[in-house]
Amino acid sequence: MSDLLARRWRPATFLPEADNRDGSLTFVVATLCFLACLMALTVLATNRAVNTWSDQLTSQATIIVRPRANETPDLAAARAAEALAGVPGVIEARALEREKAEALVEPWLGDITDLEDLPIPRLVAVDLDNASPATPSTLAAALKARGIDGIIDDHSIWTRDIARSADVIAWVCGGVFLLITAAAGAVIAFATRAGLLARREVVEVLHLTGAENLFIARLFQVRFAQLSAIAGALGAVGAAGVGAVLRLTAGGGELTHAIPILWSDLLVVAPCPLVAALVAAIAARMTAERMISEIT
Amino acid sequence: MGTSPLARLSDKLFAADDVLRFDNVSLTYGRRAEALRGISFALKPGSFHFITGASGAGKSSLMKLIYMAVKPTAGKIELFGHDVSKVSAGDLPFLRRRVGVVFQDFRLLDHLSAFDNAAVPLRIAGLKPESYRNDVAELLAWVGLKDRMHVLPPTLAGGEKQRLAIARAVVGRPEILLADEPTGNLDAEMSERILKLFTQLNRLGTTVLIATHDQTMVARSGMPVLHLDAGHLIRRAAGEE
Ligand SMILES: Nc1ncnc2c1ncn2[C@@H]1O[C@H](COP(=O)(O)OP(=O)(O)O)[C@@H](O)[C@H]1O
Ligand SMILES: [Mg+2]
């Protein structure tokens, strides 16, 4: 008795604390959480990369200038640059030198510096005002007014494609995330089932002593929620570790890196233990309630 | 629900004649022969009965029917005035809490200390540990487990387990106490002590039903006997052999 009073005594839980299946269950749930967190990091990084790219693309346009018969390509390009520079929404328009144009086409045509006569179209690079960029039609109108024949590429095809790819990645990640959540729920349901059968004696005694089904179900719910919270924390820490490695290997902090992860992105794994616990609680509760009313 | 204080009170008033009533009850396990056949009897509140009978006569089966671990194959059982086959799943736990059971195989929870085992019914009823700590310790001391309170059941001797099972059954002051061979592993002195505990509870109003082999205990107590013979109930007068 003195012993009882001395300790700040609390009764033991109705379910045995440890179970020899706990290790592997923790591992499985932790792995699922790890994958889910990686998924979230991927979505964040993809979104950032896409935003960076589209910002760069939408703030620029390229004009391909076709010289008229009585005009050198360089002159035509210079005239076009001049015409475009005055358009509202344009910050700067530069005619690219022949070398630059050649460099641009080199990947497709190879080295063409010897072919002096080849009529390489000249390019005019236009920097647009990000706040209110000039539309392709205003640019076209400005060229037409000066009688310049040019094709305007405002990169909208690229930005559309990139945005679409980003959407697809987000949807795929979302789908995989749901799949992982469902798998975690199923694993917990399975474990609850096994746990209930293994603890059948305990369940029966509690039942015959007047415990309500919900009371017993809650024991399993709490148990698996705790286990999953721990597993979720392990998975989250693992994923954050991977994210940190990517961040460090990216170096210098440029966002142009293929996987632009910021330190603050790693916070996205923080809710993982809570979400894992919640999913486990729901799965365990539903399974236990159904099963208890079946076996008793 | 039979759980509100008013409903419980009215339960008691209406059930005033019988705490328990068996009406032509039969029980068959699977496709075997009937374990119990056409059993009819009633227990008045505050009564004290023994159930005797050879091994396999159906004593434990009768107990199981009362604590609602099995359903009768035929007939009607009324507990506290409720037809147990018509009690809703939600009300069943509250009905069970009014019944204390000493299981023949004890059914202690091996991972809980003796103390926590004894406190199970109180915790299930929602009591706070602080409120029952002293009572449980006192009860365990009374059944001679004062020094064994923190021990896990697997390390208890047979007689100790039995006394713990008894403590758990009576700790919640049940309205009816069922004890299935509660003194089977106890020496004469402890048997007497346990019988005294049951008698005390009975005086406080608990209806007591004890299944036993122990003819000396039955004879000494002078309480009425329900005798089972191969699933049939044969009534005997008090003290009659
Ligand atoms: N769970 C069970 N399944 C099948 N038969 C059982 C079960 N429990 C008891 N029996 C049978 O029912 C009869 C009565 O058993 P029981 O009630 O345990 O008798 P007692 O307690 O008087 O020894 C016996 O023939 C026994 O074999
Ligand atoms: Mg028996």
Whether A142 is in a domain gets the answer no
Asked if A125 and A259 sit in the same domain, the reply is no
Whether A198 is in a domain gets the answer yes
Q: How many CA atoms lie within 13 A of B166 on its CB side?
A: 32
Whether A167 is in a domain gets the answer yes
Considering only residues B121 and A120, tell me which one the structure prediction assigns the higher pLDDT: B121
Asked if A96 and A76 sit in the same domain, the reply is yes
Pairwise CB contact (< 8 Å): A12 & B97: no
Q: Which residue has the tokens 């632009």?
A: A260
Whether A12 is in a domain gets the answer no
> A128: which DSSP letter?
E
**SS (HEC) of B147-174:** HHCCCCHHHCCHHHHHHHHHHHHHCCCC
- The domains found in chain B, sorted by start residue, are 5-236 (3.40.50.300)
pLDDT-based confidence at residue A113 (cuts at 50, 70, 90): low
Whether A99 is in a domain gets the answer yes
Min Cα distance A295 → chain B (Å) is 11
> Which candidate from A202, A208, A215 shows the least CB-CB separation from B109?
A202
> Which candidate from B94, B96, B137 shows the least CB-CB separation from A1?
B137
Does the C-beta of B14 come closer than 6 Å to ligand 1? no
Contact of B170 with B197, CB cutoff 8 Å: yes
Q: Please provide the distance, in angstroms rounded to a whole number, between the alpha carbons at the two ends of chain A.
A: 36
pLDDT tens by residue, B188-202? 888 888 888 899 889
Asked if A113 and A95 sit in the same domain, the reply is yes
> Which candidate from B89, B112, B125 shows the least CB-CB separation from A12?
B112
Q: Give residue A39's domain range.
A: 17-54+159-295
Residue B119: closest CA among B140, B143, B99: B140
What number does the ligand 1 atom closest to the CA of B33 have?
25
Asked if A165 and A280 sit in the same domain, the reply is yes
Q: Which of A33-37, A85-89, A274-278, B233-237 is the least confident region?
A: B233-237
Q: Which residue has the tokens 């460099």?
A: A103
Contact of B168 with B135, CB cutoff 8 Å: no
Asked if A48 and A65 sit in the same domain, the reply is no
pLDDT of residue B63: 95
Domain limit, last residue, from A132, A148, A172: A132
Q: What share of chain B is helix, strand, coil (3-state, %, to 5)?
A: 40, 25, 40
Strand order from edge to edge, sheet including B20-28: B34-43, B20-28, B74-79, B82-83
pLDDT of residue A227: 94
Contact of A227 with A22, CB cutoff 8 Å: yes
Is the pLDDT at A1 greater than 70? The verdict is no
pLDDT tens for each residue of chain B, 241 residues long = 445 665 555 555 554 578 999 999 999 998 877 899 999 999 999 999 999 999 999 999 999 999 999 999 999 999 999 999 999 888 999 999 999 999 999 999 999 999 999 999 999 999 988 889 999 999 999 888 999 999 999 999 888 999 999 999 999 999 999 999 988 878 888 888 888 889 988 998 899 999 998 888 888 888 999 999 999 998 765 544 4
Distance CA A49, CA B221 (A): 88
Whether A7 is in a domain gets the answer no
* pTM listed for this prediction: 0.77
Asked if A45 and A167 sit in the same domain, the reply is yes
Pairwise CB contact (< 8 Å): A12 & B115: no
What number does the ligand 1 atom closest to the CA of B53 have?
22
String of b and e for A272-291 (b: at least 16 CB within 10 Å)? bbebbbbbbbbbbbbbbbeb
Asked if A167 and A279 sit in the same domain, the reply is yes
Which ligand is the nearest neighbour of the Cα of B59?
Answer: 1
pLDDT of residue B2: 44
Whether A6 is in a domain gets the answer no
Considering only residues A100 and B57, tell me which one the structure prediction assigns the higher pLDDT: B57
Asked if A225 and A164 sit in the same domain, the reply is yes
Average pLDDT over residues A236-248: 92
Distance CA A224, CA A220 (A): 6
Asked if A37 and A82 sit in the same domain, the reply is no
Is the pLDDT at A12 greater than 60? The verdict is yes
What number does the ligand 1 atom closest to the CA of B228 have?
22
Residue A93 sits at φ, ψ, to 5 deg, of: -130, 125
Contact of A61 with A153, CB cutoff 8 Å: yes
Distance CA A272, CA A228 (A): 10
> B86: which DSSP letter?
G
pLDDT-based confidence at residue A159 (cuts at 50, 70, 90): confident
pLDDT tens by residue, A274-292? 999 999 999 999 999 999 8
Specify the pairing of strand A122-128 against strand B99-102: unpaired
Is the pLDDT at A114 greater than 90? The verdict is no
Which ligand is the nearest neighbour of the Cα of B64?
Answer: 1
Domain limit, last residue, from A82, A117, A132: A132
Instruction: Take atom 25 of ligand 1 and give the residue whose Cα is closest.
Output: B56
Pairwise CB contact (< 8 Å): A205 & B109: yes
Asked if A91 and A207 sit in the same domain, the reply is no
Chain B within 8 Å of A16 (Cβ-Cβ)? yes
Chain A within 8 Å of B128 (Cβ-Cβ)? no
Asked if A180 and A237 sit in the same domain, the reply is yes
Asked if A125 and A236 sit in the same domain, the reply is no
Distance CA B130, CA B170 (A): 19
Q: What is the ipTM of this complex?
A: 0.87
Q: Which two tokens stand for residue B125?
A: 């009823």
Pairwise CB contact (< 8 Å): A210 & B67: no
Is the pLDDT at A38 greater than 80? The verdict is yes
Average pLDDT over residues A237-256: 78
Domain count, chain A: 2
pLDDT of residue B12: 53
Average pLDDT over residues A19-42: 90
Whether A5 is in a domain gets the answer no
